[in-house]
Each structure stands twice: as structure tokens, then as C-alpha cells.
Amino acid sequence: MKILKAEFGDGYSQSAGDGMNHIRKVFDLKWDPLTDGQAATIEVFLERHGSTKPFLYQHPRASTPIKVTSEEWERTDNAASLCGFRAVLLQSFVLV
């Protein structure tokens, strides 16, 4: 959420949203355990979108998908050839 806030004397303040889409949904997703192949598939997908090209994501409790990008992800190697994967998805408001 992007909020502009001005503080004045005597405890008075004034707030306003920074732009039309100042409330942005953020999803912190974790998958564990995954095989090497499953983790690689997710990583290749995110790399192909290059943190700038949005893709559709539908939260399990939502009725419609939304456009998101991912600038942050991490693959972790666990024991017995299994992996974990974490990605942060940010709602995108691009028109394309």
C-alpha cells in the first residue's frame, strides 16, 4: 500500500493514496517439497517473465485471476534430492 502522509502540529495529519492503484495485493508463496524438475519448471517460468512481464495468478479463495509479476524468488535444496521454492507475487496494473 502506498500512502502519502503529511504530519502537522498538534497531532493533526492528512493522508491520501499515492495514485489510483495504491493498494496492491502481495502473495508470498511457498512450495515444499518439490522435485528438482518441478522447482526448475517454476524457476524457468519466472525467469522467462523477467520480473516485468505480468502473468495471471488465481488465489485458491478468489473467484477470478489477477495479473501479477515476481521480482523475488528463491530455490532451496533439501535432503534426498528434494527442493523448496518461494516466490513473492505482486499485483500488476499494466494494461497490456
For position 14, what pLDDT does the model report?
87
Q: Is the peptide bond before 33 cis (omega within 30 degrees of 0)?
A: yes
For position 31, what pLDDT does the model report?
94
Q: How far apart are CA 41 and CA 30, in angstroms?
A: 15
- Whether this model's pTM surpasses 0.85: no
HEC string for 49-93: HCCCCCEEECCCCCCCCEEEEEEEEEEEECCCCEEEEEEEEEECC
pLDDT grade for 37, boundaries at 50, 70 and 90: very high
Spatial neighbors of 89 by CB under 8 A, at least 6 apart, are: 26, 27, 29, 57, 68, 69, 70
For position 44, what pLDDT does the model report?
96
